[in-house]
Structure 1
Amino acid sequence: MIELHTYMLAVGIGNLSFALLMAAYMGSTTPTPGLRTWMWARLAFGATQLLAYARPDTGMTVLAVIESAGWTAGLTLEVAAYASFFGYPQLRRHLLPVSSLALLLACAAPTAGFGQPQLMAVVSTVMGVGSLLVGAVLLHPRLPEATSLQRLIGANDAVFGGALALWGVIAMLDAAPAPWLQVLAYVAGYMLLIVNGFGFLLMSKERDDARMERLATTDDLTGLLNRRAFFARADAARMLAQRQGQPIALLMLDIDHFKQINDRFGHATGDEALLKFSTACCATLREYDILGRLGGEEFALVLPDTGLAGAHGAAERLRQEVMKTCVLTCGNHYTMTVSIGLVVIDPEEDLPSALARADHALYQAKHAGRNRVEADIGLRRHA
């Protein structure tokens, strides 16, 4: 069976390797919250484990104190990394006093006559309990946007953290724990090293990919779909409606006199108007309706499973909701309005053709005095 001495060397090298891997990853991307702290935690654990490998040959008590401080520092940094990554400010506030007390106790343990086996039993217990708590956080049903990867890491932390804590408690109570417990502790330590090391890196990559996808498909100001993403989603909805034989409506929306808002009140007010407009639109729409910003003050909306009459009613509700919107920097007497062009997409019609017709209907709404809904006359048969 592998000895503790050799085990410390193996996991120490493993943790330092993970730290180098994370440093290389951060050099090629914007680090997610907690990733840099996680890297320092791996460095602290790796250095401490190498010290635990070398210290018995020196016999120096001061190195035992440093080793104890290293275990505490590594665990503190690991918890801080999770708190930053998942956004738990309350946990971070309590972390400093708790870790300070743990550091004091850890540094006092070697001077109180704790030998290497006893010290490792205490460390294993603390780290096992910490992993259990992390597992509970990752497996919590109310964790926002939890992914399968996070659940897998949480299950690993819970199972192997519990095993490590069990070995630590038994080792503290019994000077010679059973061999199977020793093997269980080693396996638990390795699994926590591998799964946590790769897991945090993969969770960071997963979050980075999601952020990049949002940047590629979302309008920066309003949070709506950008032009490219809207066209992709709208065309997919059009083809689905064609296959299922369901009606689908397309609306073009344009904020009235938007240039005057920018010229009179400034571009900051124009941005506020765009934000308030998009919020008002979303308040009247169904979850599966598709709204996007095509550019400037021009927006487009797709209403699946909606004929002309239903689309006209939805457009009127949206128009009235926009009129209720207050743009603070424009003054109390300013009323924002929107002109809307509406069509129902023909079964054999492509999206560019439908957009052209909706844009023509929008022009008619503008020409007729703005703040109104105009439908393509040729599609009344779809009502």
Structure 2
Amino acid sequence: MLPAADVALLMNFYVCLMTMLAMLLALRSREACPGMRYWLASVLLFSALMLLLYLRTAGMPGWLGVGVVNALACTALLLIWLGLRAYRNELRSGDHGWLLLPVLLGAALWWLAGEARHFAVRVLLVNAVLMVLVGMILKLVFVQRAPHEYGRACLGGLLAGTMLVLLFRMGSVLLHGAEVSAGKDQGFSILLLVLGFVILGSGYSFLLIQSDWLQERLRQQASLDPLTGLFNRRGMARAGELIMANCQRQQGILTAAMLDLDHFKQINDRLGHAAGDEVLVAVSERLKRQMRGGDVLVRSGGEEFAVLLPGCNLDEARQWAERLRDALATQPLQAGGQLLAVSVSAGLAQWQPGETLDQLFVRADRAMYAAKAAGRNCVRTSAVLDEPASET
């Protein structure tokens, strides 16, 4: 019958392999989120770590196992940290320099492994380094976490448990002072089992993060226009609800703009729809450069664009629209292999208390058609259109 320590080691190796298999299936069956490959590598290292611990009980030199095993654990945690940095789009080339830390740790442990009296120093050093790494990971897990990101919450809980296990290990060594190794202490077997479940749970946390990422990406894609990358009508409704609620709560100012490219059908008829798409993309890029921080730009359909301008009154919005109109009219853009002059007709409406988002854009749309009726390539506001209605 295998000793308890051997059973624990084999179980840990088994769950690591299962986690690795699940993550490999995730990589093959669906688009992987940023960071997933780092996390898969961390599970591979944890599997190698458990195998080395088992070999250590079978007769591998202790001085070799101590340095390599702890260096692998340190590297695996660093890979989790790097994966989270990649997931949050914060990964920098210099971050990989942290991977020198396991090499330095392994060298220090190899140097201290010669004498038993250094055992407590080794344990305290290893656990202190691992606790710092776990703390770095926990910071990334919980900072700016959305409520629906269950994978990060699960990973954070497991790592918080790992922190407690490391504290328990340090306290045990400080209190008892005797070397605890596989095959000599039943408590060490229990510790390995706990860590095995943490590793297994971490692997499935990565899969949950993958699922959260895919769901968020689907939500974003459902709200974005595939050609220009701008919000579509659905995205405008979601963003507009937040802006309208803020205006109502703070009695703020909000102006809506409707923009329509003049004679766009002629471009499609003369140069083809591919050239028309190039025009839409080029105009979208120019519009983006005219946006302020809190503005919302939407491709509402065809050659029409809608803009929400929080904190901007009608006069300020008109100045903004005139600058935009002038920039488009005086700077030809490249499309269909030639330079094209593009103009825009713009309609503006300022939000009135009690008005819905749809009602606001209906008034802006009426102003835009008034601009077209006035000869195109101009700006009109709803103020003039609303005057007769206000007098009756």
TM-score, normalised to structure 1, is 0.69
Name 1:319's counterpart in structure 2.
322
Does 2:285 match 1:275?
yes
Name 1:138's counterpart in structure 2.
138
In 2, the alpha carbon distance for the partners of 1:101 and 1:132 equals: 15
Instruction: Give percent identity, aligned residues only.
Output: 25
Equivalent residue letter for 2:386:
L
Choose which of 175, 182, 196 in structure 1 pairs with 2:178: 175
For the residue of structure 1 that corresponds to 2:375, the secondary structure is: coil
Name 2:386's counterpart in structure 1.
379
In 1, the alpha carbon distance for the partners of 2:310 and 2:126 equals: 55
Equivalenced residue count is 366
Name 2:217's counterpart in structure 1.
211
Q: Could you tell me how far 1:239 is from its partner in structure 2?
A: 10
Query: For 1:43-97, what per-residue CA distance to the aligned partner results, in whole angstroms no more than 9, with x for missing partners?
Result: 231243144235423x244x98478545534542441342143133255331343
Name 1:80's counterpart in structure 2.
79
Name 1:299's counterpart in structure 2.
305
Name 1:40's counterpart in structure 2.
41
Name 2:208's counterpart in structure 1.
202
For the residue of structure 2 that corresponds to 1:301, the secondary structure is: strand
Q: Could you tell me how far 1:277 is from its partner in structure 2?
A: 0.8
Q: Could you tell me how far 1:137 is from its partner in structure 2?
A: 4.4
Instruction: Tell whether the 8 Å contact from 1:48 to 1:67 is kept in structure 2 after alignment.
Output: no
Instruction: Tell whether the 8 Å contact from 1:127 to 1:161 is kept in structure 2 after alignment.
Output: no
Q: Could you tell me how far 1:191 is from its partner in structure 2?
A: 6.2
For the residue of structure 1 that corresponds to 2:225, the secondary structure is: coil
Pairs within 5 Å for 1:100-179: 100-103=103-106, 108=110, 122=122, 126=126, 129-139=129-139, 143=143, 145-147=144-146, 150=152, 153-154=155-156, 156-158=158-160, 160-161=162-163, 163-164=165-166, 167-168=169-170, 171=173, 174-175=177-178
Does 2:28 match 1:22?
no
Report the CA distance shift for 1:250/1:317 in structure 2 as closer, same or farther (over 3 A).
closer
Query: For 1:215-236, what per-residue CA distance to the aligned partner results, in whole angstroms no more than 9, with x for missing partners?
Result: 2212346543113332565589
Q: Could you tell me how far 1:14 is from its partner in structure 2?
A: 2.1
In 2, the alpha carbon distance for the partners of 1:200 and 1:132 equals: 21
Q: Could you tell me how far 1:297 is from its partner in structure 2?
A: 3.7
RMSD between superposed Cα atoms in Å: 5.2
Equivalent residue letter for 2:286:
K
Report the CA distance shift for 1:67/1:42 in structure 2 as closer, same or farther (over 3 A).
farther
Task: Please say which of residues 9-18 and 149-158 is displaced more in the overlay.
Answer: 149-158
Q: Could you tell me how far 1:32 is from its partner in structure 2?
A: 1.6
TM-score, normalised to structure 2, is 0.68
Query: For 1:131-185, what per-residue CA distance to the aligned partner results, in whole angstroms no more than 9, with x for missing partners?
Result: 4323234326995x334654664465356326415625853882257x9985995
Name 1:31's counterpart in structure 2.
32
| Runs (5+) with no aligned partner, structure 2 | 335-339
| Runs (5+) with no aligned partner, structure 1 | none
In 1, the alpha carbon distance for the partners of 2:173 and 2:245 equals: 65
In 1, the alpha carbon distance for the partners of 2:119 and 2:261 equals: 69
Pairs within 5 Å for 1:293-372: 293-302=299-308, 310-311=313-314, 313-321=316-324, 323=326, 338-342=344-348, 358-372=364-378
In 1, the alpha carbon distance for the partners of 2:8 and 2:142 equals: 37
Q: Could you tell me how far 1:365 is from its partner in structure 2?
A: 1.0
Does 2:102 match 1:95?
no
Report the CA distance shift for 1:104/1:134 in structure 2 as closer, same or farther (over 3 A).
same
Equivalent residue letter for 1:27:
R
Report the CA distance shift for 1:141/1:157 in structure 2 as closer, same or farther (over 3 A).
closer
Q: Could you tell me how far 1:213 is from its partner in structure 2?
A: 1.6
Q: Which has the higher contact order (CA 8 A, sep 6+)?
A: 2
